[in-house]
Structure 1
Amino acid sequence: MKTKLKFVVTVAMGTSVFLFFALANKQSWQLRSYQPSRAPAPLSRNIFPNGSGDKTTPDEEGARLSRLLQEFTGSYLDIPADNETATSADFTEFQILHPGSVYRVGDILSVLIRAKDMRNREKTYGGDFFRAKIYTERTKSSAPGRVRDFGNGTYGVTFRLLWEGDVTVSVRMVHSSSAVRVIKRVAEGFPFNRSWYQRRYITGNKSSTGWCSLNPNDLQIPEGGGICDFSDSYAGVEWYCQRPEGVACKQSVFHRHNGYLKEHTDLGLTEEEMRYFKFMHRRNGRGLEAIKAEIQSKNSTIQVAGNSSGADEEEQLPSCRPGLPVPVPSGYYRNGRWVSRVCATTRLSPLEYKKCLQNKILDFLGDSTVRQWAEFLAKLLNMENIPVPYFTSATAGPVHYLETEWNITTRYQSHGTPLKTYTWTNATVLSNLARIIDSIPGGPDRVVVVTLGLHFSNHPLSVFIRRVRAVRAAILRLRSREPETIVVIKPPNTTGASFNHLDEWPLFQIYLVLKEMFSGLPVVLVDTWEMTDCQFHEDNVHPTNDVISEEVSYMLSYVCV
């Protein structure tokens, strides 16, 4: 009897979810003449880090973001195309400034990078993309550094020293400025159509497909057909798909990603340009990825003593709560565990987490990296996967988990298009992220985790900014309805993918924009870029379980105070 009742309840819940998202997406089944009747709510604050309530114009906001990107990613204009002036990882060097100084925990360590070209000549312009960290292998301690491009061939790196002992500096050139020039050229020449997306329409027992894009100009109108406009300006979404002959836009049922343009044949990279990257093997032939070459130094290790006061920095931290200021770096690894510099974190057993999360609902919204969080938590708490009575996919969701004894519910759902899933996915349940957040009641027993970025890396940054603005407005509305709702922002992490897919140069800019757009708001920032920037594993779009464990543990410190 209990089993039958459970099945009926599950079906009812699933059917309700299906009907909700079907109705929510009904407005998208229109032709190009459709104009949304509801505009986004005005934002009540600007993006400046002091979190003031003063309004700012779009031009002022754009100028602030431009200065931010200029400061930390340098100037990439007018990079010469001459191969001999390409930056050489073999000749480029870094040096520790004041290497003979007495360093203590809490001090700032400064490093200077001097870029050199293939002829061992000093570079006179910037644009190289470096990543840097300090580490102690013996104790599995590490921390990220902040690199600044001075625009003249030199780069400054600063680290905060956070533990005692021998500390080694590591600097990697992810991309030379020549590689960045190629990435910029490709991004400008192919702003929307480097990724292929498709829509499948069902008419009776027949199906037909059309190509999709964020820009209708990329799509040819098929003979006898048209273009369906699935855009949603309220949610900051632009999305267009070909409509084959004889079908209506409302008959669009499935979505999928169907590959990328090839670097050599489609994007027009020359053999010389391809040398700026490292070749990688993949199913459909060779591809390109960042070189990520280690930069050498005559002296890369220093000795760090304890601080003079003997005080433990962790003991001075406040309890974890949303809206706390985030220092740089926000934390570091010690003995393989992430140590927050924002607040005093807690580590609990699975049973203690169950007690803490009793009667709570956690929404994990975004891409597969936050799906990893939902899956990790479900395994940790021994939660049951609740099936839904309609076709969906693990990539897009919705996926629901339930822990019956303590009444803990979690959900994973994707952020909507552009969604890079090779599996045909039910388009009728692909809602846009701002609307998903609007549908959440909120309250003290609700945790909403949001990530955005990875699926936008080979589209214009303006597309991402427009989407983030709408998501931020939805979060402000949620917080206005229920101020006790805990909202967690998860930036993208470092990756090991190809430059045409998940390259770190555009992802780093996405990371900076996301941090800036949510600075000063009463939300939780789990800085997964920093947590993977200095990890002891190879970069991977899907980090290893021990890294996911640290990310989830840190997030739960704001829930289980």
Structure 2
Amino acid sequence: MNTIKTIYLILCIFAISFLSRFWMSEWKWYAQFLRLKLKSKEEPDVGFDNKRDADPNKILQEADDIYQLISSTKPLFDIPPFERSTSAHNSKYYIMNPTEVHSTGNLLYTYVETYDYQGNRKTTGGDFFRARIYDKKTLTAAVGSITDFNNGSYLVTFPLYWEGTVYISIKLQYSSEMVSLIHRLRDIDNYRMGFRGIFLSKNYKEMTKCHFNLTFTGPLCDLYYHNSGIKWMCEKPKNLSCENLSSLEYYFNEPSLSEAEKKFDDRKNVLKEIRPVGASSVIVKKQGSNINLPKCQSHPLTYTNSTGFVQNHTWISSLCQVKRFRTSERVIQCIKGKKIYLVGDSTIRQWFEYLVKIIPTLSKVNVGRNQWYSEKLAVDLTNNIYLQWRTHGLPWHPGVPLMLPDSPSAVSLINNIYGGKEFITVICLGAHFTRYPLKVYLETLIHVRNAVKRLLGRSPDTTVILKNGNTRTPYKLLLDNDWLTYELNQAFVAAFMGMNVSLVDAWDLTAAYESAELHPSEEVIKNEVDVLFSYICPNID
């Protein structure tokens, strides 16, 4: 008991120092975002400027600026022995104010100290945690935010949304050494995957290599219609023309790892609980009356640490009034007369399938050849509802040959949307980009962002909504994991920062749910769609 009191006194002495560093770090991160957005403009953003925003050098510079901002962990080319990597079992956390009376609306601070497998104190940062508070009795949970002091210690901040007993879970998802390995494989070793172009002419077939960074010096075939700014090319076949390109076939080679590095490619070391020193829960009392949140409306996008919590299977936003759309009548009341364009990966295709399921008058139109990537279309002639889903173009990994006419780029799709107050455009890019260098994703994002600027420039009443990536269990531990998705989500917000768009924060929602599925459950989809429709119809009763 005396040991715990001593620890608590030490923490109290240093609490002000840690918290001041925390707020300085948070403000510095946000201020960097502001400087980044202001750096590229000397006047208010009044929409797309063809000379300014389409300049290839400017796009590359902005991609590099965002990369430097969010990619704080530099890859180690010499990974230390596994025994010197961060160990969840040896690390520990403390509640910084365990005896304090906690109230809703306040913040709970925990301090994490990390140690390696040999019991030595870590002196560098870069570990990736999953921090969560919960109450199993009321099926309530929310996620915390991490501040890295870059010395082996971390501050985890939890918003206290509900009253009662709040339990703490802090898991080490990936050690800093594993993050460094993941980072290196993503940004440097990018020739282990790409596509093979299948060129056909009657019964004659040729196959060539296709990539965004070809070193081939011969003639090339430009896949300009299927990319969003990235120069995806195929080597031209010897005997056929580029017009004979029929489809693309994805290929992947396992990364080359040293024997020491292979020890990190082990799922038994992932998502392990860090033990508490002292209490692992607090009692929270209700403070004051309920806060009246504003209606969900588009506004200049900003970075937000926490966007809400889940309680009794329902997502409760901390930003705006999220309403429930669980019956076909209520959904139709919201989207009657609307044209909804879903542009993105299969996690947003789930929204299409869910809406077709719950709206009996919404009928599918068979317009595609492949269930995984071809266009999906549904119409409701009675209520004048148009619903379309299309892929975002390359890269796309369907598991079968990709027929190019079925996969136009996100930029070309957005360019073809006329826009207006009855038009809803939803964009989701992420899951298919985790294996590619971050700058490839950033350049794609900037081109997509510029297409959205053009759309809003010609039709300011158009509603544009973004959806970020969700948590998942990786198919390939080092290549499809949550750290990669988290960085893509950071880039997603950075690229659209300051634009008049809305965000469905699938990351916060699925992390609170502890969802481990690439394609979340229907319960999660229902909550995501509730947020979507709350932005489309903020004034619905």
Residue aligning to 1:227: 220
Tell me the secondary structure at the aligned position of residue 211 of structure 1.
strand
Distance 1:345 1:369, change over 3 A: same
Q: Is the 8 A contact 2:140 2:311 kept in 1?
A: yes
Tell me the secondary structure at the aligned position of residue 133 of structure 2.
strand
Are 2:246 and 1:261 aligned? Answer: no
Residue aligning to 1:276: 264
Q: Is the 8 A contact 1:143 1:332 kept in 2?
A: yes
TM-score by length of 1: 0.81
Q: Is the 8 A contact 1:332 1:339 kept in 2?
A: yes
Residue aligning to 2:30: none
**CA distance, structure 2, for counterparts of residue 49 and residue 129 of structure 1:** 30
**CA distance, structure 2, for counterparts of residue 395 and residue 90 of structure 1:** 41
Q: Deviations over 1:416-463 (max 9, x none)?
A: 111111122321232111111010011111111101121111111111
**CA distance, structure 2, for counterparts of residue 241 and residue 443 of structure 1:** 38
Residue aligning to 1:517: 495
**CA distance, structure 1, for counterparts of residue 78 and residue 256 of structure 2:** 19
**CA distance, structure 2, for counterparts of residue 345 and residue 236 of structure 1:** 35
**CA distance, structure 2, for counterparts of residue 162 and residue 504 of structure 1:** 25
Residue aligning to 1:319: 295
Residue aligning to 2:339: 361
Residue aligning to 2:37: 47
In structure 1, list runs of 5 or more residues that go unmatched.
1-44, 280-288
Tell me the secondary structure at the aligned position of residue 518 of structure 2.
coil
1:105 is displaced (CA, Å) by 0.2
Q: Counterpart amino acid of 1:508?
A: Y
In structure 2, list runs of 5 or more residues that go unmatched.
1-34, 46-51
1:235 is displaced (CA, Å) by 3.3
Distance 1:116 1:303, change over 3 A: same
Residue aligning to 2:411: 434
Which has the higher mean CA deviation after the structures are superposed, 113-122 or 177-186? 177-186
Residue aligning to 1:168: 167
Residues 539-554 of structure 1: pairs in structure 2 closer than 5 A:
539-554=516-531
1:53 is displaced (CA, Å) by 2.3
Q: Is the 8 A contact 1:48 1:516 kept in 2?
A: no
Q: Counterpart amino acid of 1:276?
A: F
**CA distance, structure 1, for counterparts of residue 522 and residue 136 of structure 2:** 20
Residues 103-252 of structure 1: pairs in structure 2 closer than 5 A:
103-191=102-190, 193-217=191-215, 226-231=219-224, 235-252=228-245
Which has the higher mean CA deviation after the structures are superposed, 455-464 or 204-213? 204-213
**CA distance, structure 2, for counterparts of residue 152 and residue 48 of structure 1:** 31
Are 2:299 and 1:302 aligned? Answer: no
**CA distance, structure 2, for counterparts of residue 381 and residue 232 of structure 1:** 34
Which has the higher mean CA deviation after the structures are superposed, 208-217 or 447-456? 208-217
Q: Counterpart amino acid of 1:515?
A: V
Q: Deviations over 1:256-294 (max 9, x none)?
A: 323x222xxxx2213332222325xxxxxxxxx971212
Residue aligning to 1:531: 509
Q: Tell me which of 422, 433, 436 is aligned to 1:459.
A: 436
Are 2:469 and 1:489 aligned? Answer: no
Q: Is the 8 A contact 1:214 1:239 kept in 2?
A: yes
Q: Is the 8 A contact 1:69 1:512 kept in 2?
A: no
**CA distance, structure 2, for counterparts of residue 206 and residue 341 of structure 1:** 59
Q: Deviations over 1:54-113 (max 9, x none)?
A: 69966577446523443xxx5555775133311111111111111111100011111111
Tell me the secondary structure at the aligned position of residue 89 of structure 2.
coil
Distance 1:145 1:447, change over 3 A: same
Residue aligning to 1:10: none
TM-score by length of 2: 0.84
Q: Deviations over 1:6-48 (max 9, x none)?
A: xxxxxxxxxxxxxxxxxxxxxxxxxxxxxxxxxxxxxxx9636
After TM superposition, the runs of 4+ consecutive aligned structure 1 residues lying more than 6 A away are 49-52, 54-58
Residue aligning to 1:66: 68
**CA distance, structure 2, for counterparts of residue 501 and residue 244 of structure 1:** 31
Residue aligning to 2:9: none
Distance 1:79 1:548, change over 3 A: farther
Q: Counterpart amino acid of 1:387?
A: N
Distance 1:301 1:220, change over 3 A: farther
Q: Counterpart amino acid of 1:90?
A: H
Residue aligning to 2:446: 469
Residue aligning to 2:306: 329
**CA distance, structure 2, for counterparts of residue 385 and residue 420 of structure 1:** 24
| Greater helix proportion | 2
Distance 1:276 1:59, change over 3 A: same
Tell me the secondary structure at the aligned position of residue 257 of structure 1.
strand
Which has the higher mean CA deviation after the structures are superposed, 506-515 or 401-410? 401-410
**CA distance, structure 1, for counterparts of residue 119 and residue 392 of structure 2:** 47
**CA distance, structure 2, for counterparts of residue 256 and residue 138 of structure 1:** 49
Q: Counterpart amino acid of 2:295?
A: S
Tell me the secondary structure at the aligned position of residue 488 of structure 1.
strand
**CA distance, structure 1, for counterparts of residue 101 and residue 39 of structure 2:** 34
Tell me the secondary structure at the aligned position of residue 431 of structure 1.
coil
1:232 is displaced (CA, Å) by 6.3
Q: Deviations over 1:501-535 (max 9, x none)?
A: 41222221111111122222111111111111221
Distance 1:87 1:522, change over 3 A: same
**CA distance, structure 1, for counterparts of residue 395 and residue 438 of structure 2:** 13
Q: Deviations over 1:445-494 (max 9, x none)?
A: 11111011211111111111111111111111111111111111111111
Tell me the secondary structure at the aligned position of residue 134 of structure 1.
strand
Which has the higher mean CA deviation after the structures are superposed, 500-509 or 248-257? 500-509
**CA distance, structure 2, for counterparts of residue 455 and residue 184 of structure 1:** 16
1:356 is displaced (CA, Å) by 2.1
**CA distance, structure 2, for counterparts of residue 236 and residue 113 of structure 1:** 42
Distance 1:312 1:237, change over 3 A: same
